[in-house]
Amino acid sequence: MTQIKGKTVLITGGAAGIGKLMGKKLIQKGASKLVIWDINPEFLKQATDELHCKNCKVFPYLIDVSDTSGIIATAKKVRDEVGEVDILINNAGVVVGKNFKDHSHHDIDFTMQINASAVMHVTLEFLPGMIAKGEGHIVNIASAAGLLANPKMSVYVGSKWGVTGWSESLRIELEQLNRNLHVTTVNPSYIDTGMFAGVKTHPFLPILKPEKVVNSIIRAIEKDKLFVRTPYLVKWIPFVRGVLPPRIFDWFAGDILNVYKSMAGFAGHEDYIQSKK
Protein backbone atom coordinates (compact mmCIF):
# COMPACT_ATOMS: atom_id res chain seq x y z
CA MET A 1 0.00 0.00 0.00
CA THR A 2 1.38 3.39 -0.99
CA GLN A 3 1.16 6.02 1.72
CA ILE A 4 0.36 9.52 0.45
CA LYS A 5 0.54 11.37 3.77
CA GLY A 6 3.83 13.20 4.20
CA LYS A 7 5.04 12.33 0.70
CA THR A 8 6.50 14.42 -2.09
CA VAL A 9 4.49 14.26 -5.32
CA LEU A 10 5.46 15.51 -8.79
CA ILE A 11 2.82 15.95 -11.51
CA THR A 12 3.71 16.88 -15.08
CA GLY A 13 1.04 18.98 -16.78
CA GLY A 14 -0.09 19.69 -13.23
CA ALA A 15 -1.40 23.23 -13.60
CA ALA A 16 -4.75 22.47 -15.26
CA GLY A 17 -7.26 19.73 -16.02
CA ILE A 18 -6.93 16.43 -14.22
CA GLY A 19 -3.33 17.30 -13.33
CA LYS A 20 -4.41 20.16 -11.07
CA LEU A 21 -7.32 18.15 -9.72
CA MET A 22 -4.99 15.28 -8.82
CA GLY A 23 -2.75 17.74 -6.99
CA LYS A 24 -5.70 19.03 -5.00
CA LYS A 25 -6.84 15.53 -4.06
CA LEU A 26 -3.33 14.44 -3.07
CA ILE A 27 -2.98 17.47 -0.80
CA GLN A 28 -6.28 16.51 0.81
CA LYS A 29 -4.82 13.04 1.33
CA GLY A 30 -1.87 14.51 3.20
CA ALA A 31 0.91 15.02 0.66
CA SER A 32 3.43 17.41 2.23
CA LYS A 33 5.12 18.68 -0.96
CA LEU A 34 3.57 19.09 -4.40
CA VAL A 35 5.84 19.73 -7.38
CA ILE A 36 4.02 21.04 -10.44
CA TRP A 37 5.58 20.97 -13.90
CA ASP A 38 3.76 22.88 -16.62
CA ILE A 39 4.43 24.81 -19.82
CA ASN A 40 1.79 27.51 -19.22
CA PRO A 41 3.08 30.26 -16.88
CA GLU A 42 -0.37 31.73 -16.21
CA PHE A 43 -1.90 28.37 -15.30
CA LEU A 44 1.18 27.54 -13.23
CA LYS A 45 0.81 30.68 -11.11
CA GLN A 46 -2.93 30.17 -10.68
CA ALA A 47 -2.50 26.54 -9.62
CA THR A 48 0.30 27.42 -7.20
CA ASP A 49 -1.79 30.12 -5.54
CA GLU A 50 -4.86 27.91 -5.43
CA LEU A 51 -3.19 24.76 -4.09
CA HIS A 52 -0.73 26.23 -1.60
CA CYS A 53 -1.83 25.66 1.98
CA LYS A 54 -0.33 25.41 5.45
CA ASN A 55 -0.13 21.61 5.27
CA CYS A 56 1.53 21.35 1.86
CA LYS A 57 4.18 23.42 0.13
CA VAL A 58 3.78 23.81 -3.64
CA PHE A 59 6.83 24.05 -5.90
CA PRO A 60 6.08 25.28 -9.45
CA TYR A 61 8.48 24.73 -12.35
CA LEU A 62 7.96 26.20 -15.81
CA ILE A 63 9.06 23.55 -18.29
CA ASP A 64 8.47 22.25 -21.79
CA VAL A 65 8.74 18.48 -21.46
CA SER A 66 9.36 18.13 -25.19
CA ASP A 67 12.88 19.42 -24.37
CA THR A 68 14.93 16.53 -22.96
CA SER A 69 17.76 18.78 -21.78
CA GLY A 70 15.16 20.88 -19.96
CA ILE A 71 13.81 17.78 -18.25
CA ILE A 72 17.27 16.81 -17.03
CA ALA A 73 18.10 20.32 -15.78
CA THR A 74 14.73 20.85 -14.09
CA ALA A 75 14.82 17.42 -12.45
CA LYS A 76 18.17 18.33 -10.90
CA LYS A 77 16.68 21.56 -9.58
CA VAL A 78 13.82 19.60 -8.02
CA ARG A 79 16.21 17.20 -6.30
CA ASP A 80 18.34 20.10 -5.04
CA GLU A 81 15.47 22.35 -3.94
CA VAL A 82 12.75 19.91 -2.91
CA GLY A 83 14.39 16.51 -2.49
CA GLU A 84 13.62 13.11 -3.95
CA VAL A 85 10.15 12.41 -5.33
CA ASP A 86 8.02 9.68 -3.74
CA ILE A 87 5.09 9.68 -6.18
CA LEU A 88 5.58 10.62 -9.84
CA ILE A 89 2.55 11.20 -12.04
CA ASN A 90 3.35 11.48 -15.76
CA ASN A 91 0.28 13.39 -16.88
CA ALA A 92 1.35 15.90 -19.55
CA GLY A 93 -0.05 15.14 -22.99
CA VAL A 94 -1.17 16.57 -26.34
CA VAL A 95 -3.31 15.41 -29.24
CA VAL A 96 -3.37 16.29 -32.94
CA GLY A 97 -6.70 15.19 -34.42
CA LYS A 98 -6.01 14.67 -38.12
CA ASN A 99 -5.75 11.89 -40.64
CA PHE A 100 -2.13 10.76 -40.74
CA LYS A 101 -1.62 12.05 -44.29
CA ASP A 102 -2.37 15.58 -43.05
CA HIS A 103 0.23 15.55 -40.26
CA SER A 104 3.42 17.57 -40.44
CA HIS A 105 6.73 16.17 -39.27
CA HIS A 106 6.50 18.63 -36.39
CA ASP A 107 3.12 17.16 -35.39
CA ILE A 108 4.67 13.70 -35.20
CA ASP A 109 7.78 14.74 -33.26
CA PHE A 110 5.81 17.01 -30.93
CA THR A 111 3.23 14.36 -30.06
CA MET A 112 5.67 11.49 -29.62
CA GLN A 113 8.10 13.58 -27.59
CA ILE A 114 5.53 14.82 -25.09
CA ASN A 115 3.29 11.77 -24.87
CA ALA A 116 5.92 9.03 -24.95
CA SER A 117 9.57 10.06 -24.82
CA ALA A 118 9.14 12.70 -22.10
CA VAL A 119 7.38 10.18 -19.85
CA MET A 120 10.44 7.93 -20.05
CA HIS A 121 12.96 10.76 -19.60
CA VAL A 122 11.15 12.19 -16.56
CA THR A 123 10.90 8.74 -14.98
CA LEU A 124 14.57 8.04 -15.67
CA GLU A 125 15.48 11.16 -13.71
CA PHE A 126 13.53 10.27 -10.57
CA LEU A 127 13.58 6.48 -10.57
CA PRO A 128 17.12 6.12 -9.14
CA GLY A 129 16.05 8.04 -6.02
CA MET A 130 13.09 5.74 -5.56
CA ILE A 131 15.24 2.64 -6.00
CA ALA A 132 17.78 3.96 -3.50
CA LYS A 133 15.03 4.50 -0.91
CA GLY A 134 13.42 1.19 -1.76
CA GLU A 135 10.00 2.72 -2.31
CA GLY A 136 8.09 4.85 -4.76
CA HIS A 137 5.06 4.93 -7.04
CA ILE A 138 4.95 5.93 -10.71
CA VAL A 139 1.64 6.68 -12.42
CA ASN A 140 1.62 6.86 -16.21
CA ILE A 141 -1.42 8.47 -17.78
CA ALA A 142 -1.88 6.64 -21.06
CA SER A 143 -5.30 6.31 -22.72
CA ALA A 144 -7.88 3.84 -23.92
CA ALA A 145 -6.29 4.78 -27.25
CA GLY A 146 -3.30 2.81 -25.98
CA LEU A 147 -5.42 -0.34 -26.31
CA LEU A 148 -7.12 0.05 -29.69
CA ALA A 149 -6.76 1.89 -32.98
CA ASN A 150 -8.73 5.03 -33.84
CA PRO A 151 -8.86 7.08 -37.06
CA LYS A 152 -7.86 10.77 -36.93
CA MET A 153 -5.58 10.17 -33.96
CA SER A 154 -3.04 7.70 -35.33
CA VAL A 155 0.04 9.44 -33.91
CA TYR A 156 -1.66 9.97 -30.56
CA VAL A 157 -2.61 6.29 -30.54
CA GLY A 158 0.97 5.35 -31.40
CA SER A 159 2.29 7.44 -28.51
CA LYS A 160 -0.19 5.95 -26.04
CA TRP A 161 0.44 2.37 -27.18
CA GLY A 162 4.10 3.12 -26.58
CA VAL A 163 3.46 4.45 -23.09
CA THR A 164 1.23 1.49 -22.22
CA GLY A 165 3.79 -1.08 -23.31
CA TRP A 166 6.71 0.73 -21.70
CA SER A 167 4.79 1.28 -18.45
CA GLU A 168 3.94 -2.40 -18.17
CA SER A 169 7.54 -3.40 -18.91
CA LEU A 170 8.79 -0.98 -16.26
CA ARG A 171 6.32 -2.42 -13.74
CA ILE A 172 7.63 -5.94 -14.27
CA GLU A 173 11.25 -4.79 -14.01
CA LEU A 174 10.59 -3.03 -10.70
CA GLU A 175 8.62 -5.97 -9.32
CA GLN A 176 11.65 -8.16 -10.00
CA LEU A 177 13.64 -5.98 -7.59
CA ASN A 178 11.33 -7.16 -4.76
CA ARG A 179 11.09 -3.70 -3.23
CA ASN A 180 8.22 -1.34 -2.48
CA LEU A 181 8.20 0.10 -6.02
CA HIS A 182 4.94 0.34 -7.95
CA VAL A 183 3.71 1.37 -11.39
CA THR A 184 0.11 2.14 -12.29
CA THR A 185 -0.90 2.45 -15.96
CA VAL A 186 -3.99 4.58 -16.57
CA ASN A 187 -6.09 3.98 -19.71
CA PRO A 188 -9.18 6.20 -19.62
CA SER A 189 -11.51 6.96 -22.49
CA TYR A 190 -12.21 10.60 -23.39
CA ILE A 191 -12.18 12.92 -20.34
CA ASP A 192 -14.22 16.12 -20.24
CA THR A 193 -11.32 18.58 -19.88
CA GLY A 194 -11.49 20.34 -23.26
CA MET A 195 -8.60 18.39 -24.74
CA PHE A 196 -11.00 16.40 -26.91
CA ALA A 197 -13.56 19.11 -27.62
CA GLY A 198 -16.02 18.03 -30.29
CA VAL A 199 -15.74 14.25 -29.94
CA LYS A 200 -18.89 12.14 -29.89
CA THR A 201 -19.13 8.88 -28.01
CA HIS A 202 -21.45 5.91 -27.54
CA PRO A 203 -23.41 5.69 -24.25
CA PHE A 204 -21.39 2.58 -23.36
CA LEU A 205 -18.22 4.72 -23.62
CA PRO A 206 -19.34 8.04 -22.16
CA ILE A 207 -17.13 11.11 -21.88
CA LEU A 208 -15.74 10.84 -18.36
CA LYS A 209 -16.04 13.39 -15.58
CA PRO A 210 -12.57 14.50 -14.45
CA GLU A 211 -13.27 14.07 -10.74
CA LYS A 212 -14.36 10.46 -11.21
CA VAL A 213 -11.19 9.64 -13.12
CA VAL A 214 -9.01 11.38 -10.54
CA ASN A 215 -10.67 9.56 -7.65
CA SER A 216 -9.99 6.26 -9.43
CA ILE A 217 -6.32 7.19 -9.88
CA ILE A 218 -5.90 8.20 -6.23
CA ARG A 219 -7.47 4.91 -5.09
CA ALA A 220 -5.15 3.04 -7.43
CA ILE A 221 -2.12 4.75 -5.88
CA GLU A 222 -3.27 3.92 -2.37
CA LYS A 223 -4.01 0.29 -3.23
CA ASP A 224 -1.04 -0.23 -5.58
CA LYS A 225 -3.31 -1.19 -8.46
CA LEU A 226 -1.67 -2.13 -11.73
CA PHE A 227 -4.27 -0.48 -13.98
CA VAL A 228 -6.97 2.13 -14.11
CA ARG A 229 -9.15 1.36 -17.14
CA THR A 230 -12.35 3.35 -17.33
CA PRO A 231 -15.22 3.27 -18.17
CA TYR A 232 -15.89 -0.39 -17.48
CA LEU A 233 -15.97 -1.48 -21.13
CA VAL A 234 -12.34 -0.39 -21.55
CA LYS A 235 -11.28 -3.22 -19.23
CA TRP A 236 -12.50 -5.71 -21.83
CA ILE A 237 -10.75 -4.22 -24.86
CA PRO A 238 -7.59 -6.41 -24.70
CA PHE A 239 -9.67 -9.58 -24.32
CA VAL A 240 -12.17 -8.71 -27.06
CA ARG A 241 -9.40 -7.68 -29.47
CA GLY A 242 -7.66 -10.95 -28.72
CA VAL A 243 -10.60 -13.27 -29.41
CA LEU A 244 -12.35 -11.53 -32.31
CA PRO A 245 -11.02 -11.63 -35.88
CA PRO A 246 -9.79 -8.15 -36.90
CA ARG A 247 -12.69 -7.43 -39.28
CA ILE A 248 -15.26 -8.47 -36.68
CA PHE A 249 -13.57 -6.30 -34.09
CA ASP A 250 -13.57 -3.38 -36.56
CA TRP A 251 -17.31 -3.88 -37.05
CA PHE A 252 -17.91 -4.02 -33.28
CA ALA A 253 -15.72 -1.00 -32.43
CA GLY A 254 -16.50 1.02 -35.53
CA ASP A 255 -20.15 0.34 -36.34
CA ILE A 256 -21.61 -0.73 -32.99
CA LEU A 257 -19.66 1.45 -30.53
CA ASN A 258 -18.88 4.20 -33.10
CA VAL A 259 -15.30 4.46 -31.80
CA TYR A 260 -13.92 4.93 -35.31
CA LYS A 261 -16.26 7.90 -35.87
CA SER A 262 -15.73 9.56 -32.48
CA MET A 263 -13.13 12.05 -33.77
CA ALA A 264 -15.18 13.20 -36.76
CA GLY A 265 -16.18 16.45 -35.06
CA PHE A 266 -12.94 17.01 -33.14
CA ALA A 267 -12.34 20.72 -32.60
CA GLY A 268 -8.92 20.57 -30.99
CA HIS A 269 -7.47 21.78 -27.72
CA GLU A 270 -7.35 25.59 -27.65
CA ASP A 271 -3.92 25.76 -26.02
CA TYR A 272 -2.39 23.52 -28.68
CA ILE A 273 -4.11 25.40 -31.53
CA GLN A 274 -2.75 28.70 -30.17
CA SER A 275 0.76 27.25 -29.92
CA LYS A 276 0.61 26.31 -33.61
CA LYS A 277 -0.41 29.77 -34.87
- 156 included as an active-site residue: yes
Contact 17, 209 (CB under 8 A): no
Query: Under 8 Å CB-to-CB from 116, ≥6 apart: which residues?
Result: 159, 160, 162, 163, 166
Task: List own/partner pairs for 98-102 with CB under 8 A and 24 or more apart.
Answer: 98/152, 99/151, 99/152, 99/154, 100/154, 100/155
Contact 147, 242 (CB under 8 A): no
* Catalytic entry in 61, 156, 190, 260: 156
Q: Around Cβ 146, how many Cβ atoms within 10 Å? A: 25
**Strand, helix or coil at 64?**
coil
Q: Around Cβ 206, how many Cβ atoms within 10 Å? A: 13
Query: Under 8 Å CB-to-CB from 265, ≥6 apart: which residues?
Result: 198, 199, 200
Which residues are known catalytic residues?
156
